[in-house]
Amino acid sequence: MPHTQILYSDEIFDSLVMSQQTLQGRQYEGCEFRKCSFIEVRLDGCKFIDCRFIECRLIAVKPPNSRFTGVKFINSQVVGMDWTLAEAIEELEFCGCKINYSNFKLLTIPGIRIEKCEAKEAAFIEADLSGGVFTGTDFENSRFFKTNLAGADFRGAKNYAISAYHNNLKGARFSLPEAMNLLYGMEVVID
């Protein structure tokens, strides 16, 4: 029996708290979530279109079959989220967020923005993040392998270990001194 889609349009959700619950078949268009907390919540078949999450906490959220289009996370914690479960992701932005332990493996999200964030232990393996903006972000222990980073902007980013042999870096921008990390795995000696 098909479930009915519940639509929310241009609404503001303030200080909403959910833990270990399931939201199913919800569609949010132009909505704003402020200081909300979603802990181990399952977003099953939901759609988020042009939504903003401001100072929110999304911890270990699972988004199976959900769609994210034009979604912005601002000064939020989006920790341990497995984005690979989503049905579709377009125009995703994180600004001033913690996205530690998140999984973006095999995803195609050209133009993604991860600015002034903490992205520790995140997986970007075999993802297409071409044209992405990663300025000012800390990528400590994050994994990049066979990742398309063509035209990406890493200026001001730090603690990344990106092999020039195993990733597409054509036209990507980096800044010193962190750009020295690009020599990682090249077996060169610098005096």
Residues of the chain with pLDDT > 70, as a percent, come to 92
Could you read off the pLDDT of 37-86 as tens digits, one per residue?
999 999 999 999 999 999 999 999 999 999 999 999 999 999 999 999 99
Q: Digits of tens for pLDDT over the chain (191 positions)? A: 345 678 999 999 999 999 999 999 999 999 999 999 999 999 999 999 999 999 999 999 999 999 999 999 999 999 999 999 999 999 999 999 999 999 999 999 999 999 999 999 999 999 999 999 999 999 999 999 999 999 999 999 999 989 888 999 999 999 887 777 776 656 556 55
What pLDDT, on a 0 to 100 scale, did the predictor assign at position 2?
46
What pLDDT, on a 0 to 100 scale, did the predictor assign at position 8?
96
Place of tokens 């993040």: 129
Q: Which residues pair with 69 in a beta bridge?
A: 49, 90
Structural domains in the chain plus CATH codes: 8-93 (2.160.20.80), 104-191 (2.160.20.80)
150 contacts 173 by C-beta, under 8 angstroms: no
